Structure 1
């Protein structure tokens, strides 16, 4: 059978299996095993356990559960509420200070936790009621938190970037640095839109809040500064040549647990057990997907599907930006239905040879891919962040949350366009800190 036709059949079968309700990892194993049995016979299954566990035999994977523990220990405390309150006290007299506080808190908390749902829940529980009480439109209040929660998969340290680095054998340190400026760019675009939408509403009273004394501003800082120092310390240890990403993640996780216990009195064995239980559950889920994706990639390569697709695209007489546009559409649609980790592990091995052949930087492409995944988090039908916000504020209709988040989707699309026009936004900092790649 023609490998391209076989690839189309595999794609359809994968979609059908994943939409049947089985987990992503199990679905990938079912599809991989089924096609290998049909085309290579039962003996091909003998290699699958070795491929599955071989994919997990990577020292860099240790950083995933460590960063997850780091985020879970923060999410289990009042750190999100304190972070929001600290920014609100310092920015209250700035025009639009409340919405800026929410977006800033989302950016910082998502960078610490690396979890979009956790960010939406932690900041939304405080931010949405306060914004509604001040008279902000429901769409602005809900949409800004939903969009702000997506920043965690781009701003380092990012589990998504770690997964991309492992899947494509790309430097995780470079990927972290590549996400800094685009992440700040997105924060700026989000804030600019929020201020504009608030101003357009015509109620200038929304633009400023109550005033706080300097004492009130300073007394909140000891609760949040230690977490910010941990982030800076992790990044310094990584880029200062002191430790590897896995080692810095382990130290960061331990320090976050200690701070959660000292500052937030997280002494209860039950509370600590919940942190470790939830971290283990999420880590196993991601690692299971990584192993299953390795088997899926082996199946595609064994049946010459990956090679044939790359060769076919290489023969297309199209402008490379047209090709990149098609890749973006594919990623966007995939992100509507699948979690970011699954999309990266399934698509990156196929797309990487294509984009490098077309002359695109794989580090730059990682940022483009991640922003596409962010769009998927606030877009139906899956749109995980939309449902998290709806659970926090059930009286705000899902349609209102969606309408409020759509302008932020536009901001992300604008960020992708700017990155295409100025790729140095993603590559300048990695080249400055770690040297130019040859």
Structure 2
């Protein structure tokens, strides 16, 4: 069978298997085993365990459970509520100040946890009821948190960037730096839309209710923000100050978060700590299982010459490189609608990397573009993980309302991709400045 036809068959069967309800990792293993057995015989199945565990035998992978512990420790405390309250006191008089407070809290919390669902849950529990109480529409209240939570996979430290670095053998430290300015840009676009939409809402329905805080109340809350800044500074200094590798830096971040949870938020009971470690282990194993299964899936594609044929076919397309990038973006966007970011990166990045580098695109710039596409998938049905997290926090808000409220922020993400295409230095300038030009 022709490799391209075989590739289409693999894609079709993979979609069917994943939609059957099995987990992503299990589905990838089933498809891989079936095609290897059908086309290479029983002998090829003997290599599956070696490929699976061989791909997990990487020191860089240690950073994933460490960053997961970091996010879980913070999510188990009042840290998100304190961060939200501090920003609320300072921004309450700004048009759309409460929405901006939530987006700022999402950005800072995302920088510590690296998890979009955790960011949505932590900030949404406080932010959504408060916004609704002060007269903000349900769509604005829910949509802004759902969109703000997506910043968790772009602003460093980011688990998805770590996975991309491992899958493409690129520098994780450089990837983290590449996400800083685009992450701030995206947050700025979110805030600009929030200010405009709130101003428009006030023009039609009168001013929204705003609380008033004294200067004493504003300053007394600032010490609660200090631990967050210390964590971010500690992680960044460890990584870029030459103190530690990304994996060791993740351990530093996890330790700092656990210490803050224990000392400041009094999370010292064995039962509470056990919950943090249990949930972290569960999520880490899930991610690592997907990584191992994706390695087997990639091995199957390569063994049957599907990867090489697709890459060559795309490379031979007589189209402008920006048309090619537009097609890749459409593919990533559709894939993000149905699969979690980690799965898409592990399956697509190794295939697409030689194509985009041959076309003259920077792999670190492409990592940011890919991640923003995955962010759109997090607030788009049918998977739309953040939509369901928000729906769980505020079950009386219809899923349709949450989706419609998040659509303007999808427009902001598309605008960010366009700006990055016009000004690629937004993603490449900081890594080149700090770490030198990529070779």
CA distance in structure 2 between the aligned counterparts of 1:217 and 1:267, rounded to whole angstroms? 29
Cα shift at 1:93: 2.3
Q: Provide Cα deviations, 1:369-394, integer angstroms capped at 9, x if missing partner.
A: 00000000000111111111111111
Q: Distance in 1 between matches of 2:264 and 2:21?
A: 42
Provide the aligned C-alpha RMSD in A: 1.0
Question: Residue 264 in 1 paired to residue 265 in 2?
Answer: yes
Q: For residues 219 and 196 of structure 1, what CA distance do their matches in structure 2 show?
A: 30
Is the contact made by 1:223 and 1:263 (CA closer than 8 Å) also made in structure 2? no
Map 1:7-156 → 2, pairs under 5 A: 7-156=7-156
Shift of residue 113, structure 1, vs aligned partner: 1.1
8 Å contact 1:132–1:138 — kept in the other structure?
yes
Alpha-carbon distance in structure 1 between the residues aligned to 2:32 and 2:411: 37
- Kept after mapping to 2: 8 A contact 1:155/1:180: yes
Residue equivalent to 2:199: 199
Q: Distance in 2 between matches of 1:402 and 1:4?
A: 36
2:180 is aligned to 180
Q: How does 1:261-340 map to 2 (within 5 A)?
A: 261-340=262-341
CA deviations 1:380-422 (Å, max 9, x no partner) are 1111111111111112111111110000000000000000011
Equivalent residue number for residue 3 of structure 2: 3
Distance across 1 between alignment mates of 2:264 and 2:219: 16
User: Unmatched 5+ residue regions in structure 1?
Assistant: none
CA distance in 1, matches of 2:113, 2:313: 41
Match of 1:210 in 2: 211
Kept in 1: contact 2:95–2:199 (CA 8 A): no
Aligned residue for 2:407? 406
Structure 2 partner of 1:219: 220
Deviations 1:96-115 (A, max 9, x none): 21111011001111111111
Contact 2:314 2:355 in 1 (8 A): yes
Instruction: Show structure 1 runs of 4+ deviating over 6 A.
Output: none
* 8 Å CA contact retained: 1:186, 1:412: yes
Deviation at 1:204? 5.2
Greater shift in the superposed pair: 96-105 or 59-68: 96-105
CA distance in 1, matches of 2:206, 2:92: 14
Which whole-Å CA distance do the structure 2 matches of 1:431 and 1:204 have between them? 48
Structure 1 SS opposite 2:47:
helix
Q: CA deviation at 1:94?
A: 2.3
